[in-house]
Structure 1
């Protein structure tokens, strides 16, 4: 039963999975999306004849770069958040409806099943496939807001305002306090609220809410995964969540849907449907299907007991089976066709687009975290809260195990009560909301009074503080990955989701606890108590048949218990494979026949997502479980449950693998390697994964660690690539020996290496001058494709000839601090900025150090350089050679300690990645307890803590801005904060916030890139793996026109962890994202339209804080990018 890890296709010669570098490189802003497309690799296992035909024919109309047959990508792209492991025969990244139509027709012709997937965050196994998996997450990003008359009332409808959600609106940001900025700011008319929102299936739920936020609206469904889950899955699972219950889920808020049926027919139920796609066209072409639906409806209406059962069961959350209540609730073709696909889990057709009605996103929210002695008391409180559901938005229950595990979050803002509770205690997180604060306070008083008969441990304290609310919701939303991280190594994460009527809620929880005890499972219990919806997680070790049998028996008893109480075996996670065998048990024979008939009507051959919801296999829920792999990989990686929270931020997600896929493949390599004996198929699988992982797992990992900023466990997948690179360089091979010798030579004489590098840059500049930049780029690209040599981008910097030397502040300026100490700073100029000077397109061609010295002079600051600065390096460039890196870091530390007078003088670095490396190396030096005897400190234990390292924008904002007169430019500027400023290690330093504050002091119109968190240039990878940078920047600056918005808290920026409640975007950086609505400027920009000038609302200059990032940004945008210090010097003069 555990043979799921073996691929059924085998017995051919194994083709290498090494990547093919023959891809066209993006030469600028006119490049198309295909220029950063995936590499085409031939199948490395034999395909069955029908799959071989499918593969060849699909490549004809899709192309060779989005049809994947190699084992590594089939394995990786088949991973999802569920407990199942299915390996597709083929994976396809579909781009548009035409391709979906052709795939469905091909499926029908060849008898090949298809499964459609968006984000892969589903938990019940409904998005897995061992046939053809069609991924629709990368291209389906359009959002349209509908204004004016209701579509249903007007064929012409209201105004439609569109945006590509892969690049949400750029931001104009104003800090709470900054230097005077008197330039006129643009204003936009305040729009009326949209009535509905159209979302492609690949739109992330939170992005839809971002588009609606300025209007005080949101979509109804609010699953805990809304920051990652996509509309296609939210709709297809009828996902609900914290607040929406059964009142605002997809079923209640759907306005129209666009579906591609099994025969390729496109059904559009909206009032704007094109001829040939309208409801009336469906009725004419598919009259047989409509008649069959009418017959089912009549059967239900004529059966009073069945009708009563359906009404009763859908009065609570229920996603077991199809939405058969549609046939009872509606009578018109449009309404029935609007609703029948909801919760169908992609088994009836392909959901291309959904139109939701907008619901209220209240302006004021109040939350309380109520602690109770036990679940019995908490259940009584739940009954009270449920009786006040008209004013209570959410009530999330968490048992003791949930609360105990929340300490792993490591957030200092976690409530202190967590440390005071004892075993058996539990909590309810309650949220109330209103548009008027007095009305909200009245609701608080009413609920507090209503709850008074049920004693709580610490009283009822409702908080209006957003940060405190976020810390509470952070606990609730992180429970799944947190509990998964605590599982025994090799255990499987089983997440169950049941619902009871409130009257049976307490009994249901008691019964679940009894089942835990009976089957010897330890689990956590939590859920949406207001809806009677209970989640629980168990982590059984399913490494033996006996354990699988025990789990199977548990599931049987659970299903019987829930059904006996009239509950839902699946409330909101979808039927999937997990409870497909129990649909008839819950619903009874008559209702189950209705379910089967619906499937037959829309999928007569059973080829669309088979074995999901309807199955003939009573054991399907126990098959193809993820294999146990105990103690095979590092503990911090083993904690990953493949939830996918990390994926949206990864720069390589559109070119190779995402973090969860890198971990999944890494884990599988370890599992296969550890097998004492391997079948021929397992050996070939291992070879395929190992041979491809170098490129897919290491070379194209930007090692930016942005994944850790989204992961509730802060798992840093970059460590895999770093470890693999270090192991490769330490191997006893000739190549590794040469690499070590080169690294040793380079690190031993940084000054000489810098001179050689400047010579190389001058040579590159000379070539560009002779043949032209574009020709030089094409020539270098050809050599790169053939030999793997670095590319020469058109935006290549010039060589830096500026000589560094200490600069004293001028006598005409006040150059003392309030304490009387001199104004001075130690400037650690990075290797890169000692090598690079601005390129020819830059308006200011001075060396960065010269510009910083100028700004310091204006502010009355003296600049000191560490002794022998030309010989110093932070060690970042040698991260793959730990010994050389550690030596360089220690040398830098010694020099900085001396130059800063043991930390008295602040230290500034001019490249954000190097600033981060300095911080990290200082911490490492302190933690390792290196010998401080020769460092000249009277208190060596505190040396490292004394050094104050600032990224340059942070230093300027903190120390210099108040000493300068700023005349802001009226020019619109583009802004990009490098990933180093967003890193978990720098989130407390406020580096990103400082850059935002600084930019707003300098310009009236700041268009900040808010979606791309890492540009993928990654030091030298932009030269040697340029496809990573190009893919990461595919949507750079592609947003609507920049409009004024106020950044609510400039010191606190979005780290990517969005833990707000009820589907509303968390109160981080996205809170200030706005979308303009005036004419013309609001069209979504297609990739081919992303010309220089169309990006960033027409800005013609960009600013950042990383010279390497700026190369890639300039190459993509077509205009010059420089360090933001250049704009400071341009706008600043000494304060009088």
Structure 2
């Protein structure tokens, strides 16, 4: 087979699950790099399932056949027509595309909540939509053209002017069959009426038969049939989408009603005011939202009984236009029977609290589920007038089947409702209960003229009910579409169309209880795009999946599998984890997989690291001296280092590493200092020592002091990252009394700032030097030699602590133009990971290095010494602390 093929149990099991409640283990994993690879792969005639983001909720991303990874090598993004169109590989995420489009004031139409992780290939293959796009700006409405590889091996660009002629010449049966089906549907009045009625709703059930009514040429029909086909008709190698304008200004209201009936009765009037979004939250949702620490004050004060709420937002390109939209809606809002008067908020913080409530419901319910249970998120759509009775009947089903904590929320403007419940699917009684509930739910939705899938795709979940929703005639049309495109039936078998009445209850997930982080994971994959090891070994989701697989193998008594997984896990999941915590910033249930890895790293070297903590000044000086010696004797240092690394796993020296620096200076002023400078020991180990902050303070008239015994003190990160609890406790026992007090402690390296904050807790106020400079020094300094262009690398620590705005403020003070790569992410140097596993840094920085290649900058800056080393190694340009740059331009 073409591409990289693996049958290793670790690789098959780490990709065995997506965000759905289905679990199948692939027989092999193939990573393809081009459309040509895919065409050759089709020739093998084996069952294939394509997967990129793995955020699908209905089981379309899992298989027991061959799983094809289409994420790693299909991430190209090309902006066309000043942003009015964009050409994208199927592996690029929605957020990555929107980041590139933002400078043009444009964005993709589909706006799924999973935009941080879902890829455009998955969005188009599922016809995903979201909170605001409805049916007017979803994937079907905005698709322009695709490059598709058909199961026959034919590759077709439907954007070519002669695409239809090419299709007729190269795939005559398919071309003729699509013509025939188009005429068949158009000639049947009942079929036309059914399609028009069902696709007036958000509808991802079955194939997009509206393509047969909306388009004439078979090439155009094929393009639209591929939307929502879930990888069952062909492979999307490239996608061209039309875009929509970014409406950066918004006015948001949280409208609370006495009950669900009052909320749904208000919908027609609200829809007439043309809001961008109307989100419904039932009483259970409101009670769940009240538990959030950052809950809106109005909701916090509400005694929730039978209440329901509508989150309404009006968007525009300018603040004045947004105000005008809000004013136009004011009369309608004033007439609503609200519990409290309507208020449309413009303050970003207040608006973010409201949206956090809505978007956080999934996390709140899923995160609180009992260990070993699965979170089931389903979606349906009904005509808006049917929304209230449908919701009432769903609530009745929750009560009948004893789903006590189920919630209803969703896109009320479109009649699209999500409901979520938790179930123990590995238990036969739980599976049977879910089956009975599903049968009753199907009756309710179809009884109200709705669709069983609005935006999550048919997948495996609803295949037994496609025929019932569409009827025999239209179901037969779908079967013919599948036969024409995929006559061998090799693409994603069992997905979209499947006559097995029990398909939705087969291959369900079971999750053994393992560890706290593992048990809370809902396997959504939101963490994966921000993980620095994603293209090298494993992602946070995969580390967790392998922990579950390992525990299940133990329970099953499969000693051979246990041994295989344990052997691979050490390198794939533990050694190459950056423990940078970026996964937590994207995780809907706030899991920091680094915490798990730190515990797993704890080893018999606790004593050695405790000794190092007691003699930290000598240790750092020795490490710095070793680097200086290596730079003077590279001919000796390089082979010795490689041998020690190969035999004992010692740090790997390379010529791009600097020599060591000086010991951290101690300062004792005569007057009471304005701040305590806690300089990082990385300057001693990886010189030169950072003295720029002290010089800037001197110029600005700010008095600094250093704590007693500074050279022997550390923030604790080296011990925490390795799970060395004894050494961490030893260091904490000396650092806390040395820094306790009411004078702010300023740290000149972002990762050390974060580590010291965690080590000290409320013993002292810890401020990063960049933030201190932005708020206390900049207005006292005069820039005398401003640079033209600066390349800036934010760090994961700065991002987690919310310091990136301050970093940008300082950078913009020193340069006319500041460039943060669109592909910015953790550099993967991670303290000593860049020395122990340089391949991790190389993989993590490759996208940034490629984006910066061939461009000239007057300086390259960051805010953490080891990150500067990682980016220097990746780009070949010397990165330095942004305060070093500021010090030079203010001399």
Kept in 1: contact 2:787–2:858 (CA 8 A) = no
Q: Secondary structure at the match of 1:891?
A: helix
1:881 is aligned to 2:724? yes
Shift of 1:667: 2.9
Q: Secondary structure at the match of 2:846?
A: coil
Q: Which structure shows the higher helix fraction?
A: 2
Kept in 2: contact 1:794–1:1115 (CA 8 A) = no
Shift of 1:530: 0.8
Shift of 1:824: 4.3
Q: Deviations over 1:540-569 (max 9, x none)?
A: 222322321221121112112222222101
Aligned partners of 2:511 and 2:574: how far apart in 1? Answer: 25
Shift of 1:467: 2.6
Q: Deviations over 1:716-751 (max 9, x none)?
A: 11011111112xx2xxxxxx2xx1332232222222
1:250 is aligned to 2:139? yes
Matched residue, 2:353 = 471
Q: Which of 200, 204, 220 lines up with 2:109 in the alignment?
A: 220
Matched residue, 2:608 = 742
1:358 is aligned to 2:247? no
1:93 is aligned to 2:31? yes
1:708 is aligned to 2:584? yes
Kept in 1: contact 2:290–2:299 (CA 8 A) = no
Aligned partners of 1:409 and 1:798: how far apart in 2? Answer: 49
Match runs of 1:501-540 below 5 Å: 501-522=383-404, 523-540=406-423
Match runs of 1:617-632 below 5 Å: 617-629=500-512, 631-632=513-514
1:444 is aligned to 2:326? yes
Q: Secondary structure at the match of 1:144?
A: strand
Matched residue, 2:690 = 848
Shift of 1:307: 1.4
Match runs of 1:375-524 below 5 Å: 375-386=260-271, 388=272, 391-411=274-294, 414-435=296-317, 440-522=322-404, 523-524=406-407
CA shift in 2, pair 1:269/1:262, >3 Å: same
1:793 is aligned to 2:793? no
Matched residue, 2:809 = 997
Aligned partners of 1:442 and 1:1035: how far apart in 2? Answer: 42
Q: Deviations over 1:225-280 (max 9, x none)?
A: 2222111111111111111111121221111111100021111111368xxxx331
Q: Deviations over 1:1004-1061 (max 9, x none)?
A: 222224533311111111111111111110112443xxxxxxxxxxxxxxxxxxxxxx
Q: Deviations over 1:632-655 (max 9, x none)?
A: 321x54222111121111111111
Aligned partners of 1:1102 and 1:865: how far apart in 2? Answer: 29
Matched residue, 2:769 = 952
CA shift in 2, pair 1:345/1:374, >3 Å: same
CA shift in 2, pair 1:710/1:415, >3 Å: farther
Matched residue, 2:56 = 122
Aligned partners of 2:610 and 2:765: how far apart in 1? Answer: 29
Matched residue, 1:295 = 180
Aligned partners of 2:883 and 2:79: how far apart in 1? Answer: 39
Shift of 1:531: 0.8
Kept in 2: contact 1:478–1:712 (CA 8 A) = yes
Shift of 1:451: 4.7
- TM value normalised by structure 1: 0.75
Match runs of 1:180-195 below 5 Å: 193-195=82-84
Matched residue, 1:280 = 165
Matched residue, 2:233 = 348
CA shift in 2, pair 1:1006/1:777, >3 Å: farther
CA shift in 2, pair 1:407/1:882, >3 Å: farther
Kept in 2: contact 1:807–1:862 (CA 8 A) = no
Q: Secondary structure at the match of 2:241?
A: strand
Q: Secondary structure at the match of 1:890?
A: helix
Aligned partners of 2:694 and 2:598: how far apart in 1? Answer: 36
Kept in 2: contact 1:481–1:640 (CA 8 A) = no
CA shift in 2, pair 1:67/1:418, >3 Å: farther
Matched residue, 1:646 = 527
1:764 is aligned to 2:605? no
Q: Deviations over 1:566-597 (max 9, x none)?
A: 21011111000000011011111111111111
CA shift in 2, pair 1:293/1:663, >3 Å: same
Match runs of 1:513-592 below 5 Å: 513-522=395-404, 523-592=406-475
Aligned partners of 1:440 and 1:1126: how far apart in 2? Answer: 42
Kept in 2: contact 1:559–1:586 (CA 8 A) = no
Q: Secondary structure at the match of 2:609?
A: helix
Shift of 1:603: 0.6
Aligned partners of 2:293 and 2:361: how far apart in 1? Answer: 13
Matched residue, 1:903 = 742
Aligned partners of 2:712 and 2:417: how far apart in 1? Answer: 62
Q: Secondary structure at the match of 1:197?
A: strand
Q: Deviations over 1:973-999 (max 9, x none)?
A: 22222211122xx33xxx332222112
Aligned partners of 2:384 and 2:61: how far apart in 1? Answer: 31
Q: Secondary structure at the match of 2:11?
A: helix
Kept in 2: contact 1:706–1:979 (CA 8 A) = yes
Aligned partners of 1:521 and 1:199: how far apart in 2? Answer: 41
1:234 is aligned to 2:123? yes
Aligned partners of 1:561 and 1:854: how far apart in 2? Answer: 71
Match runs of 1:1046-1057 below 5 Å: none
Q: Secondary structure at the match of 1:520?
A: coil
* Structure 1 gap ranges (5+): 1-57, 148-192, 730-735, 810-820, 839-846, 927-943, 1040-1089
Matched residue, 2:700 = 859
CA shift in 2, pair 1:805/1:436, >3 Å: closer
Match runs of 1:33-72 below 5 Å: 58=1, 61-62=2-3, 66-72=4-10
Q: In angstroms, what is the RMSD of aligned CA positions?
A: 2.2
Q: Secondary structure at the match of 1:92?
A: strand
Aligned partners of 1:914 and 1:957: how far apart in 2? Answer: 18
Q: Secondary structure at the match of 1:539?
A: strand
Shift of 1:808: 5.2
Q: Secondary structure at the match of 1:115?
A: strand
Q: Deviations over 1:155-175 (max 9, x none)?
A: xxxxxxxxxxxxxxxxxxxxx
Shift of 1:320: 0.9
Kept in 1: contact 2:459–2:495 (CA 8 A) = yes
Aligned partners of 1:1111 and 1:436: how far apart in 2? Answer: 42
For these two proteins, the number of residue pairs brought into alignment is 888
Matched residue, 1:314 = 199
Q: Deviations over 1:937-984 (max 9, x none)?
A: xxxxxxx1xx2322222222333333322224324222222211122x
CA shift in 2, pair 1:243/1:755, >3 Å: closer
1:1126 is aligned to 2:884? yes
Kept in 1: contact 2:788–2:817 (CA 8 A) = yes
Aligned partners of 1:439 and 1:694: how far apart in 2? Answer: 56
Q: Secondary structure at the match of 2:145?
A: strand
Q: Which of 573, 593, 598 lines up with 1:722 in the alignment?
A: 598
Matched residue, 2:537 = 656
Q: Which of 815, 825, 834 lines up with 2:684 in the alignment?
A: 834
- TM value normalised by structure 2: 0.95
Aligned partners of 1:598 and 1:103: how far apart in 2? Answer: 22
Match runs of 1:736-1135 below 5 Å: 736=604, 739-768=605-634, 770=635, 780-781=641-642, 784-785=645-646, 788-801=649-662, 804-806=665-667, 824-838=674-688, 847-849=689-691, 851-879=692-720, 880-897=723-740, 902-904=741-743, 906-923=744-761, 944=763, 947-983=764-800, 986-987=801-802, 991-1009=803-821, 1011-1039=823-851, 1091=853, 1094=854, 1097-1099=855-857, 1101-1133=859-891
Aligned partners of 1:803 and 1:512: how far apart in 2? Answer: 66
Aligned partners of 2:837 and 2:428: how far apart in 1? Answer: 46
Shift of 1:452: 4.7
CA shift in 2, pair 1:980/1:435, >3 Å: closer
* Structure 2 gap ranges (5+): none
